[in-house]
Structure 1
Amino acid sequence: MAQPDPSPVPAPVHVVQLTDAHLFADPAGTLLGLATRDSLRHVVEQVRREQPRIDLLLCTGDLSQDASVASYEAFRELTAVFDVPTRWLPGNHDEAQVMAQVAPQLVQAVTDIGAWRIVMLDSAVVGSTHGFLEPAQLATLQTALAEAGERHCLVCCHHQPVDIGCAWIAPIGLHNADELWQLLGRHPQVKAVLWGHIHQEWDELRDGLRLLATPSTCIQFAQRSEDFKVSEEPPGYRWLRLHADGRIETGVERARDYVVRLDFNSPGY
């Protein structure tokens, strides 16, 4: 009789990423006529239907449009239904100090879960749209990776560190991406970099490293556009399965029941 395997394979870590909600203090606040709290609510319900298990929720910036206490409280309340460990990082529309005031327990740079270490980096530049990783952030990353031991690592930030083929987005990406790549190149335990900001899906393999971005929970930017352009794709989220052997399964799902109606005469993004 065959003997049972004494070392069963550990279950993967189930992660969900929400990004770029752009909530306002005003519950009726809109971007291009789209009510951002309503679209986030639809995405949250989509996640609840499709992801019966979530071990960690990652929220990768621009949670707010106006950096108000009320907007962060609304985001926290709308996502509290998951009742799982949650991590926030700031985007260019956010105020890190206000985020920390509202939810200090959610703003943590390093999270160990299963066989993985998650590193959340602040790439926001006060008063600017582009991103930059200050020396303190790079030092945090270096220490986190050096002390990761046998854990695989997922690195998260808000701004895109690669060219995504949208000319108008390129200048507002991560301005010192070369420094990030040099650091990551010294740490093969890093399996993926995950970000928001670009309001569209991105999935690229670069020198064995998975590069991932995720649609916004509100308006979407058109892919491969020279000038600012939005699409009428529904809002969405990303799910990830982080396996104990370092493999990553991931995909993007969209709130297909949400009807996108944009008003191009309203104040823009």
Structure 2
Amino acid sequence: MPSPIGNPSEAVCLVQLTDSHLYALGHADLLGLDTSASLNAVIELVRSEVPDIDLILATGDIAQDASESAYRRFIAAVATLPAPCHWIPGNHDDAALMGRIGSDVGFTQEWVDAGNWRIVLLDSSVAGSVAGYLAPDQLELLERALDSAGERFIMVCLHHHPVPIGCDWMDPLGLLNVDDLLPRLRLDNRVKVVLWGHVHQELDEQLDGLRLLATPSTCVQFARHSVDFATDTQAPGYRRFALLPDGSIETRVSRLEAGLFLPEPGAVGY
């Protein structure tokens, strides 16, 4: 595990980037949108809005083509921000390749302690599947993280959504074994936040004291409450947090200027 970040008596500033969908070749596009350019624009927005960052989280689908070049491009992009980054794989990623590359640069961790918080990083990806599943080793990782957290408050991160989000086409593509996760988290009053990517849209809900949060992609946005696959015209963005010592959080989503980085109209999938 990395050394603890920050002081337990102080707030921690965290930035979440998710679903960048980079390619081996720079300036390749997803549904007509240049994913490398949009990621760099979002990172520039972070730099202008959040001068003092303690930690960056990247919650999956780093690459669209699961190529080493795409992962190296992501690493280079986030290196321009003044904070360490940790990542987890999504359904488009090669988890084993990410693990090897990430171990070399410190991106791959099971959890990280920041301020008075423990941030647990779960791999919900399944090779060949769009939907997610927490394998036994990931559930065991979660137990170890909870058992050793002491009095720290806890944020749990994964790629796939563990609750319905109100999109008929997307809801079946979330976490398939949610009953192995949420009941365990709801038993532990130290667990305050569950955070994910995958859905390319913003969500902020409560479940029995758990804050449930999803975040816009740094590239294409999906339309909320859609029956079939549909993109949205909102701009790419990121989420920022202040994790406070008393277990409360402050969070908001920030986006690029409206009208930037729009996908091609009428796309039916990707």
Normalised to the residue count of structure 2, the TM-score between the two structures is 0.94
Helix, strand or coil: the match of 2:90?
coil
The structure-2 alpha-carbon separation of the partners of 1:265 and 1:201, relative to structure 1 and needing over 3 Å to count, comes to closer
Structure 1 partner of 2:114:
113
1:154 corresponds to: 155
Larger Rg: 1
Matches for 1:1-269 after TM superposition, within 5 Å: 10-104=9-103, 105-256=106-257, 259-264=260-265, 268-269=269-270
Contact 2:131 2:176 in 1 (8 A): yes
Task: Report Cα offsets for 1:206-252 as digits up to 9, x if no partner.
Answer: 10110000000000000000100000110000001000000010000
| Distance in 2 (alpha carbons) for counterparts of 1:185 and 1:231 | 33
Tell me which amino acid in the other structure corresponds to 2:237.
G
Aligned length: 262
Q: Deviations over 1:96-138 (max 9, x none)?
A: 1111232212110110111010000000010000000011101
Helix, strand or coil for the counterpart of 2:47?
Answer: helix
Alpha-carbon distance in structure 2 between the residues aligned to 1:169 and 1:257 = 25
Distance change in 2, residues 1:266/1:186 (3 Å): closer
| Separation (CA, whole Å) in 2 of partners of 1:199 and 1:257 | 16
Is the 8 Å Cα contact of residues 33 and 266 (structure 1) preserved in structure 2? no
Kindly provide the amino acid, as one letter, of the partner of residue 18 in structure 1.
L
Report the aligned-residue RMSD. 1.6
SS at match of 1:145: helix
Q: Given residue 46 of structure 2, which amino acid in structure 1 is its aligned partner? A: V
Judge which range, 249-258 or 10-19, deviates more: 249-258
CA distance in 2, matches of 1:39, 1:258: 12
Unmatched segments (≥5 aa) in structure 1: 1-7
Counterpart CA distance in 2 for 1:232 and 1:169 is: 18
Cα offset, 1:10, TM superposition: 2.9
Comparing 249-258 with 192-201, greater Cα deviation is found at 249-258
Secondary structure at 1:103 match in 2: helix
Structure 2 portions without partners, runs of 5+: 1-6
- TM-score, scaled to structure 1: 0.94
Q: What is the distance in 2 between the residues matched to 1:222 and 1:87?
A: 28
